[in-house]
Amino acid sequence: GAIEKGGYDHFMIKEILEQPSTIFDCLRGRLETQNPSIQLSGIDKYKEQFLTGQRIIILACGTSWHAGLVAEYIIEELCRIPVEVEYASEFRYRNPVVHSGDIIVAISQSGETADTIVAIDQAKKNGAIIMGVVNAVGSTIARLSDTGVYTHSGPEIGVASTKAFTGQVTVLILVALKVALEKGTITKERFNQLCIELAGVPDKVQEIFVQNDHINKIAQKYSHLKDALYLGRGYNFPIALEGALKLKEISYIHAEGYPAAEMKHGPIALVDESLLSVFIATKDPYYEKIISNIQEIKARKGMVLAIVSKGDTMISGIADDIIEIPEIDELIAPILNVIPLQLLSYYIGVAKGFDVDKPRNLAKSVTVE
Ligand code: G6P
């Protein structure tokens, strides 16, 4: 009822708006900014394995798999350890190569997803070490894991995952930073800088909410859509996938996430005046490239909604609509950039009168094959 929803109409919006505090809870007691350091007992226990490990395999499904993709980019960048990200459902059936000493990171909100459970069980039998990144305390995956780091996002009721995703990405950044510092693959200066930026995330998420009415207006404008493309590069490519997934789940609008540079190999054929392209175009080394991708869409009369860094005047002159994100280091930006995409799907789903907390045909946790 209304009480559990904390006065909100739906769990989904309650959970989206909770993110400043759930991210804060995820960092609490782990991230120290005075003299920057990271405490994660789950990593300390297997420190040797993380320092000598030849590769990391990330296993997950759905939104958790998208968090895994963000982690692949971040762990490889900071720790110089090769990372593979696999759908648990594929991994479990395809006789994958797993070596003793491989580190498996299992990401799951519920800790009860059947495919993920079986996949880690098999990897464990082959001698892999399992680290769980789980939200539900004491869940099956938490119990099966050799070690782990909880996301501490609190119960997530809305079927579409929101706060659990930002919790997963936050945990995985903490893990990457800690391992990188121990391995010496990051300078202390860069480590300190990223720790301080990470601590600032909860306030910056709160800042995004100032635009909620604006995002709602954009949602009304696009609620009639049939198709949408979500495009991003680098750390924001997985965010494009996640944005597209949220739109499909909540508003039943067909959406595809793509690496922005790859659109010319297919999706660009879809562009006309009825197609919306949502670009994640915050300031990072790909910024100029993303601007040319936006121009390619505009030249074909497509509509463009761009997620941009605060104060960006360049893209606001080209895109049909923009949503601003506070400036933050590109490595941490995915946590902020996903927030307006969650809100956009929520407001479109509500505008269309759908049951956003319980989308048709979907389950919160898929405990059968
Ligand atoms: C279902 C849910 C998704 C979730 C996925 C994986 O499809 O609807 O929101 O991302 O399962 O669930 P897990 O609990 O393992 O993260």
Give the amino acid at 320: D
Whether the per-residue pLDDT at 1 is higher than 70: the answer is no
Are the C-beta atoms of residues 44 and 230 closer than 8 Å to each other?
A: no
Residue 312 confidence (pLDDT): 96
Are the C-beta atoms of residues 124 and 144 closer than 8 Å to each other?
A: yes
- Torsion sign, CA atoms 138, 332, 62, 164: positive
Q: Ligand 1 centroid vs 187 CA: distance in angstroms?
A: 36
pLDDT-derived band at 286, boundaries 50, 70, 90: very high
For the segment 15-44, the average pLDDT, to the nearest whole number, is: 97
Q: Ligand 1 centroid vs 156 CA: distance in angstroms?
A: 11
ipTM of the complex: 0.98
Q: What is the phi/psi pair of residue 259, to 5°? A: -70, 130
- The alpha carbon of residue 320 and the mean position of all alpha carbons in its chain are separated, in whole angstroms, by 25
For the segment 270-289, the average pLDDT, to the nearest whole number, is: 96
- C-alpha dist (Å) from residue 46 to 41, 43, 52, 102, 183: 9, 5, 10, 12, 13
Residue 6 confidence (pLDDT): 84
Are the C-beta atoms of residues 291 and 322 closer than 8 Å to each other?
A: no
Whether the per-residue pLDDT at 3 is higher than 80: the answer is no
For the segment 339-349, the average pLDDT, to the nearest whole number, is: 98
Residue 369 confidence (pLDDT): 78
For residue 77, count CB atoms less than 10 angstroms from its CB and return exposed for 0-12, middle for 13-18, buried for 19 or more.
middle
User: Are β-strands 37-38 and 31-32 bridged in parallel, bridged antiparallel, or unpaired?
Assistant: antiparallel
pLDDT tens digits, residue range 214-239?
A: 999 999 999 999 999 999 999 999 99
Q: Among 366, 367, 369, which residue has the most ligand 1 atoms within 8 Å of its CB, making it the best to mutate?
A: 366
Whether the per-residue pLDDT at 243 is higher than 70: the answer is yes
Ligand 1 contact via 113 beta carbon (within 6 Å)? yes
Q: How many whole angstroms separate alpha carbon 111 and alpha carbon 72? A: 20
Q: In what order do the strands lie in the sheet with 227-232?
A: 254-259, 227-232, 276-281, 303-309, 321-325
Whether the per-residue pLDDT at 86 is higher than 70: the answer is yes
Residue 119 confidence (pLDDT): 96
Are the C-beta atoms of residues 255 and 227 closer than 8 Å to each other?
A: yes
pLDDT-derived band at 299, boundaries 50, 70, 90: very high
For the segment 45-71, the average pLDDT, to the nearest whole number, is: 95
Confidence (pTM): 0.97
Ligand 1 contact via 366 beta carbon (within 6 Å)? yes
pLDDT-derived band at 163, boundaries 50, 70, 90: very high
Half-sphere exposure of 350 (CA within 13 A, CB side): 18
For the segment 184-209, the average pLDDT, to the nearest whole number, is: 98
Ligand 1 contact via 171 beta carbon (within 6 Å)? no
Ligand 1 contact via 159 beta carbon (within 6 Å)? yes
For the segment 326-341, the average pLDDT, to the nearest whole number, is: 98
Q: In what order do the strands lie in the sheet with 147-148?
A: 83-87, 56-60, 103-108, 129-134, 147-148
Q: How many whole angstroms separate alpha carbon 180 and alpha carbon 170? A: 15
pLDDT-derived band at 43, boundaries 50, 70, 90: very high
- The alpha carbon of residue 97 and the mean position of all alpha carbons in its chain are separated, in whole angstroms, by 27
Q: What single-letter DSSP state applies at residue 102?
A: P
Are the C-beta atoms of residues 359 and 249 closer than 8 Å to each other?
A: yes
DSSP characters over 112-128: --HHHHHHHHHHHHTTP
Q: How many whole angstroms separate alpha carbon 175 and alpha carbon 38? A: 9
> Token digits for 190?
């860069």
Percent of the chain with pLDDT over 70: 99
Residue 4 confidence (pLDDT): 82
Catalytic residues: 364
Kindly report the number of other CB atoms within 10 A of residue 258's CB atom. 20
- C-alpha dist (Å) from residue 256 to 227, 230, 267, 283: 8, 6, 9, 23
For residue 92, count CB atoms less than 10 angstroms from its CB and return exposed for 0-12, middle for 13-18, buried for 19 or more.
buried
pLDDT tens digits, residue range 108-151?
A: 999 999 999 999 999 999 999 999 999 999 999 999 999 999 99
Residue 290 confidence (pLDDT): 96
Measured from the CA of 113, which atom of ligand 1 is nearest? 15
Q: Ligand 1 centroid vs 71 CA: distance in angstroms?
A: 17
Q: What is the phi/psi pair of residue 367, to 5°? A: -95, 5
Mean pLDDT of all residues in the chain? 96
Q: Ligand 1 centroid vs 185 CA: distance in angstroms?
A: 33
Percent of the chain with pLDDT over 90: 95
- Closest residue CA from atom 3 of ligand 1: 62
